């Protein structure tokens, strides 16, 4: 695993958006295995940097990845880094970017409460997210 992260980080300066998308996908798969510390030190800065990209597909995938990291990261990191980034994305001009950022913000809020009621609400939000993903695939997005 120690060899994967440097190779991944070498690719972040490639201007083609497909590299960015691949890196985001790789981060979403590696973060649960790497744990909170490495994710915060090495991977989270890359994600935050991608959130400032001009391509809406990259930005809404940033929101999706951040949502998947919320349960991995410490609550303080979520509050100081993840939520502000999602807040900026939730005000983006693109409707899909706003949608996924707001979904991730809802999940963040629900997971910060940690009660059975919020677990049910989280499940509702999650299934709405899954449904939206399926609809986007059907429409070819």
State pTM to two decimals.
0.77
Q: What span, in angstroms and rounded, lies between the C-alpha atoms of 47 and 111?
A: 20
Residues 103 and 110: beta-carbon distance below 8 Å:
no
Which segment of 26-40, 62-76, 118-132 scores lowest on mean pLDDT? 118-132
Is the predicted pLDDT of residue 35 greater than 70, yes or no? yes
Q: What is the mean pLDDT of the chain?
A: 85
Return the SS3 of 73. coil
At residue 113, the pLDDT reads 63
Of residues 54 and 129, more confidently modeled: 54
| CATH numbers and ranges of domains, the chain | 4-139 (1.25.10.10)
Residues 25, 27, 31, 36: is their CA dihedral positive or negative? Answer: negative
Q: What span, in angstroms and rounded, lies between the C-alpha atoms of 109 and 83?
A: 9
**Nearest residue to 25 via CA among 71, 70, 57:** 57
């Amino acid at each position: 695993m120690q060899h994967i992260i440097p190779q991944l980080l070498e690719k972040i300066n490639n201007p083609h958006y497909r590299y960015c998308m691949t890196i985001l996908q790789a981060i979403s798969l590696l973060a649960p295995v790497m744990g909170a510390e490495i994710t915060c030190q090495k991977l989270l800065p890359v994600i935050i940097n991608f959130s400032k990209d001009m391509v809406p597909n990259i930005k809404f995938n940033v929101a999706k990845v951040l949502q998947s990291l919320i349960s991995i990261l410490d609550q303080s990191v979520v509050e100081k880094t993840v939520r502000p980034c999602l807040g900026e994305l939730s005000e983006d001009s693109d409707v899909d970017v706003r949608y996924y950022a707001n979904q991730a913000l809802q999940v963040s809020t629900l997971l910060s409460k940690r009660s059975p009621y919020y677990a049910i609400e989280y499940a509702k939000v999650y299934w709405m997210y899954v449904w939206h993903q399926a609809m986007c695939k059907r429409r070819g997005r």
